[in-house]
């Protein structure tokens, strides 16, 4: 069984985090909460998401998997205003998810999870760590989108730096240690990434909320942040773009 009541913002947050990478996702339901892990079709980025049961107003669940079409779920959630309460219930007989928003009821057919892969989270040794306010990071990424399709991230003992170079223009965002929430790095580490992917990864984080970035040399970047009023957590991994000599 699965039945829950939750504010629409929590479900919208899950969609915002997952839909840039995949159209369909396997939601792992358990008594502790909801989790999912998905890799985009190009195998460039991965998301690992968990929302604890205490993020919900009401929550009852057994262990199960629900295959959900995120485009469908997104179109339903567009009917809910911020703060609206949404009821979710799994109907085993028809294999549908019953979604109630106010007086509206939508019975959504689910996807067979048999063909959905179980992705493993790789164990990466990323030595450099910076914790940044989302607003600072977003400003740098937005500026970079106008000049290039990739950006370089650098962390050393003194600062975090974001740099993008186009045909004629460059963008540089350097945040020294005293402007960061946290910084630890044994040396200098730098990797290059696709702006499209990186931009989508940080979009769900708002204002001064902290974003943790773990970096190595020409390694994937790991991005961590909380959602659902800190009752949920997101980890993204993004593969680097290796520059040809």
Domain with CATH 3.10.150.10 in the chain: 2-114
- Confirm if 214 and 182 have CB atoms less than 8 A apart: no
pLDDT band at 119; cut points 50, 70, 90: confident
CA distance 48 to 17: 9
Is the Cα dihedral 145, 236, 73, 8 positive or negative?
A: negative
Residue 37 has pLDDT above 80, yes or no: yes
CA distance 168 to 194: 19
- Contact residues for 231 (Cβ-Cβ < 8 A; gap 6+): 51, 52, 54, 55
> How many Cβ atoms from other residues are within 10 Å of residue 151's Cβ?
25
- Confirm if 155 and 215 have CB atoms less than 8 A apart: yes
| Structure confidence by residue, pLDDT tens digits, 16-30 | 999 999 999 999 999
| Structure confidence by residue, pLDDT tens digits, 175-220 | 999 999 999 999 999 999 999 999 999 999 989 999 999 999 999 9
**Quick one: 2-114 is in which CATH superfamily?**
DNA Polymerase III, subunit A, domain 2 (3.10.150.10)
pLDDT average, residue stretch 85-97: 96
Question: Quick one: which H or E segment has residue 9?
Answer: helix 8-18
CA torsion angle for 231, 237, 238, 239 (degrees, to 10)?
180
Residue 49 has pLDDT above 90, yes or no: yes
User: In three state form, how does the secondary structure of 55-103 look?
Assistant: HCCEEEECCEEEEEEHHHHHHHHCCCCCCCEEEEEEECCCCEEEEEECC
Whether the model clears a pTM of 0.75, i.e. scores above it, the answer is yes
- Confirm if 200 and 153 have CB atoms less than 8 A apart: no
pLDDT average, residue stretch 1-29: 96
| Structure confidence by residue, pLDDT tens digits, 126-171 | 999 999 999 999 999 999 999 999 999 999 999 999 999 999 999 9
Domain with CATH 3.70.10.10 in the chain: 128-238
Instruction: Give me the pLDDT at residue 244, please.
Output: 53
Q: Give the distance from CA 113 to its chain's centroid.
A: 21
Q: Which CATH architecture has domain 128-238?
A: Box (3.70)
């Amino acid at each position: 069984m699965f039945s829950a009541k939750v504010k629409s913002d929590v479900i919208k947050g899950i969609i915002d985090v997952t839909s840039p990478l995949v159209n369909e996702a396997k939601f792992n339901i358990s008594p502790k909460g909801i989790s999912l892990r998905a890799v985009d079709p190009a195998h460039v980025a991965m998301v690992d998401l968990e929302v604890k049961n205490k993020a919900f107003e009401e929550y009852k669940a057994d262990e199960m998997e629900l295959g959900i079409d995120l485009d469908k779920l997104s179109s339903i959630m567009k009917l809910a205003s911020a703060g609206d309460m949404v009821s979710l219930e799994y109907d085993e007989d028809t294999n549908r998810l019953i979604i109630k928003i106010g007086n509206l009821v939508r019975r959504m057919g689910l996807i067979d999870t048999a063909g959905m892969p179980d992705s493993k989270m790789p164990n990466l040794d990323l030595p450099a760590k910076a914790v940044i306010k989302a607003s600072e990071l977003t400003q740098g990424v937005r500026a970079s989108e106008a000049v290039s399709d990739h950006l370089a991230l650098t962390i050393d003992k003194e600062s975090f730096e974001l740099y993008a170079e186009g045909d004629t223009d460059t963008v540089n965002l350097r945040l020294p240690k005293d402007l960061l929430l946290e910084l630890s790095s044994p040396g200098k580490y730098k990797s290059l990434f696709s702006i499209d992917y990186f931009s989508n990864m940080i979009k769900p984080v708002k204002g001064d909320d902290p974003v943790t970035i773990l970096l190595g040399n020409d390694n994937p970047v790991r991005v961590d942040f909380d959602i659902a009023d800190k009752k949920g957590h997101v980890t993204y991994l993004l593969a680097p773009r290796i520059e040809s000599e």
